Amino acid sequence: MDIITIEELHNRLNTGEQINLIDVREPYEHEEFNIGGVLHPLGRIMSADVDDIEQLKDSEVIVYCRSGNRSGQAAMMLESMGFSKVKNLQGGMMAWRVQFPG
């Protein structure tokens, strides 16, 4: 599993790059604060319910959660399902909000 830092992702988003972001948190966490990722909670990934993201198997996918732990699990699961370019956002939304509070 590869890692991407919040600074790297922030810079890429600021350039307008099209990025496949997957938020593996729970719906209430996603509603509270998100950076534009598609909500796909970890439980769905753990149960192999990935039909709606299947088309991303050969594309870069960046997964994130609150701290980086759940997204790390999600990244490993996605890789085991054949997703070839998965990156975990280091530090998750906690680090993001500290670094980019606005």
| pLDDT averaged per 10 residues in sequence order, the chain, 102 residues | 96 97 98 96 96 96 98 98 97 97 82
CA atoms of 44 and 94, how far apart (whole Å): 22
Domains and CATH numbers, the chain: 2-99 (3.40.250.10)
CA atoms of 89 and 43, how far apart (whole Å): 18
CA atoms of 90 and 54, how far apart (whole Å): 23
> What are the φ and ψ backbone dihedral angles of 70, each rounded to 5 degrees?
-65, -40
pTM summary value: 0.96
* Residue 15 amino acid letter: T
Residues belonging to the active site: 65
Is residue 33 within 8 Å of 93, Cβ to Cβ?
yes
